[in-house]
Amino acid sequence: MVRRVLVYSVALVAVAVVAAGLGLAAWALRLPRIETFLLVFVLLAGAIAWRLGRGPAIAATVAFALVSDYFFIEPQRGFGTETVGDTVRLVTGLLAAAAVIQFVHVARRHQILLEKRKDLLQDVSPRIIQSLDADEILNTVAEATLRVIDYQHFRVYHWDEAAERLVLAKSIARAHPYRGIDWHTVTLGLGEGITGVAAQSRRAILVPDASQDSRMVYPAGVSPIEESVLSVPMVTQNRLFGVLTLARLRARSLSLEDLRLMESIAAQTALALANAEQYAEAEQTIKALSMIETLQPPDVAVPDADIDHRILQAFVDLSRADLAQLRTLQADGRYHVAASGGRAWPKSAVSTGDPLS
């Protein structure tokens, strides 16, 4: 409150100082007034709007209208005008000041957004690029995005290449009704929902009002929400990693500036996720090679079954296979299952030692 009063006071003092300066200049030059006084005040209003904001600039405009009417327009030292020309001149000056204030306000807001985007990217890019953990990367992106976009729901969808579906990897709900919705029940194919369309087209999509868009997909039993939705695909080297989706209550609550910012963030996130994936694969390779080294003949006897399982596990770690079997040719001339495994190996699979028919 104190700061606001101070800002408005500075704007009014600036009008008083400029008015006094114009009065002294007219007195020194022995002129009834400086004819360009309205132009000077319009420029002053623009400067105040740029430095102090639109509110103080409007207050300054009202003040200079009163000062101009009282001191610079006949009859001087009194309110009112004697000619239609003076009235038109004053009204024109006020309209020009209003136009300048609005233009400066929009330009200033755009510059602030650009500065925030630059600061965000300078802060976030090194952190996510240096991180080799996918969860840490997504947490950093969510926290950093909130600093410049006051989203109310943040969702990250991971592209599952095997299932060819977009699966929810992270969800942050900051407002009702998002907190009461289980978005994990929804998986999307390419072209399904706004998120799926963004993934398929590899282009960001901004929907002003998702409740009026037939492409929007909600979990079962959830009514359409009046919200603005922004979906941006995470793509690097023509490979899709997933989609970042932001939502904010009320129609048109997200803007094109938000879209451009999220495009930059999504590109950096995709690159970071690619680096994290390569690191994870390298770790798996090292782990598998280390396990292979343990297969060297030990000083004590190791059961053949243990060796077979080690060989298979090393292969699974190296290849990241979902299903794998190690088969050995036995004396009966038939292949037997020596070991079985894999990330998705069913419990009811062929047991070790059974011959293959």
Q: Is 179 a domain residue? A: yes
Domain's final residue, options 63, 86, 110:
110
Q: Is 17 a domain residue? A: yes
Q: How far apart are CA 130 and CA 140, in angstroms?
A: 12
Whole-number percent of the chain with pLDDT over 70: 84
Q: Assess whether the previous peptide bond of 303 is cis (omega < 30° from 0).
A: no
> 39: which 2 tokens?
């132009």
The pLDDT assigned to 350 comes to 53
Whole-number percent of the chain with pLDDT over 90: 27
Same domain, 148 and 97: no
> 244: which 2 tokens?
């970042």
Same domain, 89 and 169: no
| Residue 164: alpha-carbon gap to chain centroid | 25
Residue 50: is it exposed, middle or buried by C-beta count within 10 angstroms (0-12/13-18/19+)?
Answer: middle
DSSP of 235-295: EETTEEEEEEEEEEESTT-S-HHHHHHHHHHHHHHHHHHHHHHHHHHHHHHHHHHHHHHTT
Largest CA distance in the chain: 123
Same domain, 230 and 169: yes
Per residue in 181-211, pLDDT (tens digit) is 999 999 999 999 999 999 999 999 999 999 9
Q: Is 21 a domain residue? A: yes
> 167: which 2 tokens?
């699966």
* Count of residues in the chain: 357
Q: How far apart are CA 219 and CA 180, in angstroms?
A: 11
CATH of the domain at 178: 3.30.450.40
The pLDDT assigned to 73 comes to 66
Taking a C-beta distance cutoff of 8 angstroms, is the pair 86, 38 a contact? Answer: no
Q: Could you give the count of Cα atoms lying within 13 Å of 281 in the half-sphere of its Cβ?
A: 9
pTM: 0.61
pLDDT band at 109 (very low <50, low <70, confident <90, very high): confident
Pick 89 or 149 by higher pLDDT. Answer: 149
Same domain, 269 and 305: no
Domain's final residue, options 90, 110, 130:
110
pLDDT band at 340 (very low <50, low <70, confident <90, very high): confident
Q: Is 15 a domain residue? A: yes
Same domain, 238 and 333: no
A 10 A CB-CB count for 323 gives 13
- Token pair 């894999």 is found at 342
Q: Is 284 a domain residue? A: no
Q: How far apart are CA 132 and CA 169, in angstroms?
A: 17
What angle (nearest 5°) sits at the alpha carbon of residue 273, between those of residues 272 and 277? 120
Same domain, 100 and 162: no
Taking a C-beta distance cutoff of 8 angstroms, is the pair 74, 30 a contact? Answer: no
Same domain, 264 and 179: yes
For residue 290, give every residue at least 6 positions away whose Cβ sits within 8 Å of its Cβ, in sequence order, or none.
none
The pLDDT assigned to 319 comes to 67
Q: How many domains does the chain have?
A: 3
Full domain range(s) for residue 262 = 142-273
Per residue in 44-63, pLDDT (tens digit) is 888 988 888 888 888 888 88
Same domain, 302 and 262: no
The pLDDT assigned to 347 comes to 61
Q: Is 281 a domain residue? A: no
| Residue 319: alpha-carbon gap to chain centroid | 35
Q: Is 136 a domain residue? A: no
Same domain, 163 and 249: yes
Residue 141 pLDDT > 60? yes
For residue 350, give every residue at least 6 positions away whose Cβ sits within 8 Å of its Cβ, in sequence order, or none.
325, 337, 340, 356
Per residue in 285-321, pLDDT (tens digit) is 777 666 666 655 555 555 566 767 777 777 776 666 7
DSSP of 322-335: SSEEEEEE-TTSSE
Task: Average the pLDDT over 241-266 and give the result.
Answer: 92
DSSP of 61-80: HHHHHHHIIIIISSSTTSSS
Same domain, 75 and 15: yes
The pLDDT assigned to 229 comes to 97
Same domain, 245 and 158: yes
Q: Is 348 a domain residue? A: no
Q: How far apart are CA 276 and CA 125, in angstroms?
A: 14
Beta strand pairing status for 335-341 and 324-329?
antiparallel
Identity of the amino acid at 203: R
Same domain, 92 and 184: no
Task: Average the pLDDT over 64-73 and give the result.
Answer: 72
